[in-house]
Structure formats: structure tokens, C-alpha cells
Amino acid sequence: MNECYYDKRMDFFYNKTNTDTVDEWTGPKLIVVLCFGTFFCLFIFISNSLVIAAVVKNKRFHFPFYYLLANLAAADFFAGIAYVFLMFNTGPVSKTLTVNRWFLRQGLLDTSLTASLVNLLVIAVERHMSIMRMKIHSNLTKKRVTFLIISIWAIAIFMGAVPTLGWNCLCDITACSSLAPIYSRSYLVFWSVLNLVVFFIMVVVYIRIYMYVQRKTNVLSSHTSGSISRRRTPVKLMKTVMTLLGAFVVCWTPGLVVLLLDGLNCTYCGIQNVKRWFLLLALLNSVMNPIIYSYKDDEMWGTMKRMICCSSEDKSQDRRSSRIPSTVLCRSTDTSGHYTEDGIIQGTICGKGDLDDKGNS
């Protein structure tokens, strides 16, 4: 019967797996990584909080697609928490960690990845349901969306806890991997292949949906006289999702490939030299997503800008109240040209050009 090493610290496993590059997380390299990591994490917390707040605030976003988009932002926010925990438990500190604390460190990262991946898969289903009917939004009820969101996080937490539940090498030290010294190599192969296959499936599904939308839009545009921007709205939403998926695949694929090579016990691949940079690339994905939301969705950017603007204006509201009308109409950035349902904002100016010069008399 194999001996188990539940009571050992991580230095024992690092030495057993010949992982001798842990000490390289010191000096200038560690400072650079920590500086970039700290800046990115702060941006992740602030920007994704704005995305979630925008979905809650703007009634135009009270649809399944945007609820799932907000949940994707929540997954990115959670990823920021995981990276903060990682920064305080990496480098020379890694060798002093207990087995349970190391499992927690990696489990948080795995959970954040799974939450984002499953969320994108659910968005694909939601887009398929709506696009095939040429609707902007699906008919999913709030209860079903809530159930889907709860299911996403349940799956993510379970997948993050799988190694802790037993699929590890604590009782078979010869099966330990190099990058994750207490993860079994067979688990790394399973984990990386599963995610890469899901990547491929989603890319194929989204390309198929996008081609269908383009074809249908071209056919309908020659037979209908409705608003052009209205007809193009499903295409714009699909472009947003395609960009999100593309960024996700680009940022996570290199790291998953490295894990796969480690699981296959590739001793000549130099994976130890690139692991920290691929980890930063994965972190960059959570930074990019809020930028994609705001760049690809004018309404989202307009709502976020109004919240920032109104927050800053509230601080000096008392001093300027005599010069600002009590009601100002904020025009929506929605391409359909209508006013937002929450476009009446009391006592503030929400962007240039929102205030009619005639109202300043």
C-alpha cells in the first residue's frame, strides 16, 4: 500500500518533483509580476463592479443575455480575488504552504476558470435560443436564469474542488506533476483536454450562429423597412460575444497547453520558464472583458460613463445646485435612437451635450 503524505509541507513535494525554479520568484522578476498583478487586480475589481452595477441600474439590461454577462463579470471579479490570494502565497512562500492551503490557492484559480468557461457556454445556448428566432433576447424567465447562474457556480466550485476530493498524488508521489506538485499528471491531462475541447466546441457553435445571423440579416434587410440599427442589434450582440470568446481562448489556451505538456510528463519542453507569463496572460483576460463590454456595447459604455460622471458630480452638487436645472435628460447611446428608461437624472449633468442650452436660462 502506498504511503500518503497529507501532513507534509509543500517543500517536500517541490523537492520530490524536482521543481527547482520556485526560488526564481524572487528579485526583479517577482517585483515585476507583483506590480503588474496588483495593478491588474485593482482594475478587475473596479471595472467588473461597474459592469455589474450597470446591468442592475439600466432597465434595458434586464434580460437573460445581460444577466449572464453580469455573471461573467462576477466570475472575473472572483478571478481577481483568486489572483490576490495567489500573490500572497507564491514565490518562496510556496514551499512553506500546507497541503490544504495550496489546494485552496489552486482551487480558486480553477473555479474562476470554470465559472467563466461554463458561463460562456450558457451564453452560447441563450444566443442560440434567441438568434434562431431572430430575436434580440430569449424568452428565459428570471427564475430559469437564476437557476442557470447558481448551476454555473455549483459546477465551478465542484471542478475546483476535484483534486481536494481525491484526484491528487498525495498517496502516489511518482504520479505528481511538475507545475502542480500535488496534482496528479492524469488530472492535468483530463483538465486541460476537457477545457480545450470545450473551447473548440464553443468556437464552432458561435461561428455557426454568427454565419446564420449574417445570412438571415442580409435576407431580411431587403424585405423589411424597419430600423436598420434594430435589425443589426442581434449581430452586434453576437460580435460582443465572439470577441469575449476570442479573448478567453487566446488568454487561456497557452496555459492549458503547458498544463497538458506537464501532464504528459514532457521534461524537455521548458514549461517552468514560461508558466508565470502564461499565468499573467490568463489574468489579462479578466482585465480585457470589461473593456470589451464597453467598447462593443455603446449602451453599456454610456451607462458606466453616466455612473462615473454622476458619482463625481454628486460631490459638488450643493455648490452648483443654483446653476443646474432640477431635471436633465440624458440621451441614450443606444443605436436605435430612443431615450433610456432611466434617462431622467435628478440634479446632475451626465455627459457633454446632455443639457439643452435653453434650459440654462
The per-residue pLDDT for 6 is 84
The per-residue pLDDT for 158 is 95
The per-residue pLDDT for 220 is 64
Q: In angstroms, what CA-CA distances link 265 with 174, 175, 181, 194, 272?
A: 11, 10, 12, 18, 12
Question: Please, what is the Cα angle at 162 between 161 and 165, to 5 degrees?
Answer: 85
Yes or no: say if 191 and 161 are a contact pair by the CB < 8 Å rule: no
Domain parsing of the chain, residue ranges: 10-14+22-221+233-309
The per-residue pLDDT for 1 is 53
The per-residue pLDDT for 92 is 79
The DSSP string of 154-171 is: HHHHHHHHHHHHT-BSTT
The per-residue pLDDT for 192 is 92
Per-block mean pLDDT, blocks of 10 residues, the chain (361 long): 80 75 60 80 92 89 87 93 88 86 93 92 81 67 90 95 91 87 92 91 82 72 53 66 85 90 82 79 86 79 82 52 41 38 36 42 39
- Cα separation, 117 vs 113, in Å, equals 6
The per-residue pLDDT for 314 is 52
- Cα separation, 312 vs 62, in Å, equals 26
- Cα separation, 215 vs 25, in Å, equals 52
The per-residue pLDDT for 248 is 87
The per-residue pLDDT for 343 is 37
The per-residue pLDDT for 32 is 75
The per-residue pLDDT for 232 is 54
Using DSSP, state whether 264 is helix, strand or coil. Answer: coil
Superfamily of domain 10-14+22-221+233-309: Rhodopsin 7-helix transmembrane proteins (1.20.1070.10)
Sequence-distant (6+) residues with CB within 8 A of 73 are 48, 51, 52, 55, 289, 290, 293
- Cα separation, 41 vs 286, in Å, equals 9
Please choose, from the candidates 104, 105, 88, 111, the residue with its C-alpha nearest in 3D space to the C-alpha of residue 37.
88
Neighbours of 182 (CB within 10 A): 25
Yes or no: say if 72 and 244 are a contact pair by the CB < 8 Å rule: yes
